[in-house]
Amino acid sequence: MISRWGPFTNMRSVMSSGQLVIDRAQGSYVWDEDGNKYLDAHGGLWLTNVGYGRQEIVEAMHKQSEKLNWFSSFSGFANRPSLELADRLVQLLGPDNMGAVFYSNDGSEAVETALKLSREYWKLVGNPTKTKLIGREHAYHGVTMGALSVAGITANRKDFEPL
């Protein structure tokens, strides 16, 4: 029995052939449980890949988790590292181009949030009927309903239409 169903997974194929279980990673490579090495060619699809086994990142995460590993950002709460990173990003991109950073957990959530912020913006400036969006053919924007609605991969959308 297979109890885990991953995104974009043909479960019939998994049921007949089994799952490829990744055991470890280093740099841009991953190894399965049998020791076979693979180049991770889609690491950026669900996360921004900085490579595996980066000791400086592990140490920074460990150090921060000993102090505060998480706290809600709702209702005006923040933590110093997130504020410092936001300041750095705004400076890198230029305050005229980006005045603030809105963090999200993944790309789908980022697209969903951008859609909502776009809708809110046009309402606030007095143009609430401006709701049309432009998307690209063959573009992947995520798996949420909003992200699917602007994505251009028909096979990913068809089972959920109309969006």
Record the pTM.
Answer: 0.73
Which pLDDT belongs to residue 14?
A: 83
Q: What pLDDT, on a 0 to 100 scale, did the predictor assign at position 3?
A: 82
pLDDT confidence band for 48 (50 / 70 / 90)? low
Cβ-Cβ contacts under 8 Å for 82 (sequence gap 6 or more)? 73, 103
For residue 47, name the pLDDT band (cuts at 50, 70, 90): low
Residue given tokens 């995104």 in the structure block: 7
CB-based contacts of 143, cutoff 8 Å, min separation 6: 7, 108, 156
User: pLDDT-based confidence at 115, cuts 50/70/90?
Assistant: very high
Q: What contacts 24+ positions apart, CB below 8 Å, involve 55-60?
A: none
85/8 Cα distance (integer angstroms): 33
Q: pLDDT grade, residue 120 (50/70/90)?
A: very high
Q: Which helix (H) or strand (E) holds 17?
A: helix 11-17
